[in-house]
Amino acid sequence: MPTEHADSNAGLLHRHLLQGPVAKAKFLGLYSVASSVEEAAQAADQA
């Protein structure tokens, strides 16, 4: 689900844990609006 959704784990991390100096960390969420699982996997591999 999108990071903006209230139930998003990635959103929870951004709102509560990735603050201050830690905000510089690279976080790669796995949510994707790709049309297929294969397309989403390829996009994740390229990130």
State yes or no: pLDDT of 45 exceeds 80.
yes
- Rg (alpha carbons) of the chain, rounded to whole number: 12
Name the residue ranges covered by the structural domains of the chain.
9-46
pLDDT tens readout for residues 20-36: 999 999 888 878 888 89
DSSP assignment, residue 26? -
pLDDT at 44: 84
Which one has a higher pLDDT value, 17 or 40?
Answer: 17
- Burial call 7-36: b when 16+ CB within 10 Å, e when fewer: ebebbebbeeeeeeeeeeeeeebeeeeeee
Q: Is pLDDT at 47 greater than 80 in this prediction?
A: no
Indicate the pLDDT class of residue 46, thresholds 50, 70 and 90. confident
